[in-house]
Copies of this chain bind each other. A is one copy, B any other.
Amino acid sequence: MLKVGILGGGQLGRMLLQAAANYPVETYLMEKDEKSPAAHLTHHFVKGDIRNFDDVYHFGKGLDALTIEIESVNEEALEKLEAEGVKIYPKPAALKIIKNKITQKQFYAEHSIPSAEFVITQNLDDVRNHPEMLPAVHKLAVGGYDGKGVHIINSKEEIEKGFDAPGVLEKLVPVDKEISQVIAVGQKGETAIYPPVDMVFDQRLNLLDYQISPAELPQSVLWKMEAISLRIVKELKSPGIFAVELFVTKQGDVFVNETAPRVHNSGHHTIEANYSSQFDMLWRVILGYPLGNTEAILPGAIVNLIGAPGCNGEAYYEGLEEVLQMDNVFVHIYGKSDTKPGRKMGHVTIISREKQDLVYKAHKIKNTLKVITKEAAEAAKEAQKEPVVEMRDRSIGK
């Protein structure tokens, strides 16, 4: 049995280990927190810091292969391990390009991969010197994650919102759709592309609303997206799973936004909706098996469960029973004991032959299932008990 290590113990590691139990593989996991979502699902748990050279090196030494569930790992240790014969998914060279937003953008430019026009900024002064780029997105070169490290600068007045640290300033693309495409690359360079995912945003809140797959797009746009995704992974020259986030304009132009060198939130529906899930696929890549079938069994949608605003503390899943009552709905709770505003606490997948059913249920789930705290749940219950004075007043007023 191959010995395979995972760096990071979050929900991606959790789902990866759920899938690992289908194959003959001995799993290792390193993470600081032994209560993290994935920590209890591995053969061997090693407490350690994935950013620390020594921790990563000692963890990886003696293993056959390593993979990551987050980009912020110690690259140098991975490079040394790779030189000593440990297979790394993705390869450290690919990870290095992607991890830094500056090198990532330069990589697209070098290989004529369409992405938004940009300038490199070392500090806030550099941003001030490029008013011609506005409106723009300012991205920190390193350390941004889950929406952190990104600011939209609409006008000169907002420049001070920018980062006073190395980053890229990208011209805002007039986005019609944001699409994610998960793609697998096998050990011999063979590829398998998943159907594209439409990341539907709440325009008012500028927040991801739900994700639906396969995305409905003209064939010509699909071809462009596939060509771009294939080009990216070809030039990254690494086996593994990659998620390419793309912008599509009303005119049908396609720009890459960014690439993740790992299993991705936009591919979680593949667990139930596709023959080979992205997690299953990563094991096939690592274990040297043939790539799986990326085809959809049924169309699918994902609703993310995000910690509700104002709620910090032990998580309580309000509306869970109601959602579990719905047909064709799959709940994934990540097992994080504490919630905080914006924290990814789980997701719900819906599968259905009917797109209308997906959209209807996605909205229903969003309005039903909330990750709050026990106290917030009790407070809400109390509030409901009080007499409905306001309504009476209104009827009197008429």
Q: Counting CB contacts under 8 A, is A129 at the interface? A: no
Residues of chain B contacted by A298 (CB below 8 angstroms): 297
Q: How many residues of A contact B (CB 8 A)?
A: 38
Q: Which chain B residue lies CB-closest to A295?
A: B327
Residues of chain B contacted by A335 (CB below 8 angstroms): 21, 24
Q: Counting CB contacts under 8 A, is A220 at the interface? A: no
Distance A321 CA – B23 CA, assembled complex (angstroms) = 12
Q: Counting CB contacts under 8 A, is A330 at the interface? A: yes
Residues of chain B contacted by A43 (CB below 8 angstroms): 40
Residues of chain B contacted by A304 (CB below 8 angstroms): none
* CB of A193 to closest CB in B, whole Å: 15
Contact digits for A318-331, partner B, Cβ 8 Å, 1 yes 0 no: 00110011011011
Distance A40 CA – B327 CA, assembled complex (angstroms) = 32
Distance A351 CA – B272 CA, assembled complex (angstroms) = 13
Q: Counting CB contacts under 8 A, is A333 at the interface? A: yes
* CB of A195 to closest CB in B, whole Å: 15
Residues of chain B contacted by A169 (CB below 8 angstroms): none
Contact indicator A23/B275 (Cβ below 8 Å): no
Residues of chain B contacted by A42 (CB below 8 angstroms): 40
Contact indicator B321/A24 (Cβ below 8 Å): no
Contact of A24 among B292, B297, B333 (CB under 8 A): B333
Contact of A330 among B22, B289, B317 (CB under 8 A): B22
The 9 closest A-B pairs by CB, nearest first: A290-B325, A40-B43, A293-B327, A289-B324, A24-B333, A22-B332, A18-B18, A18-B21, A290-B324
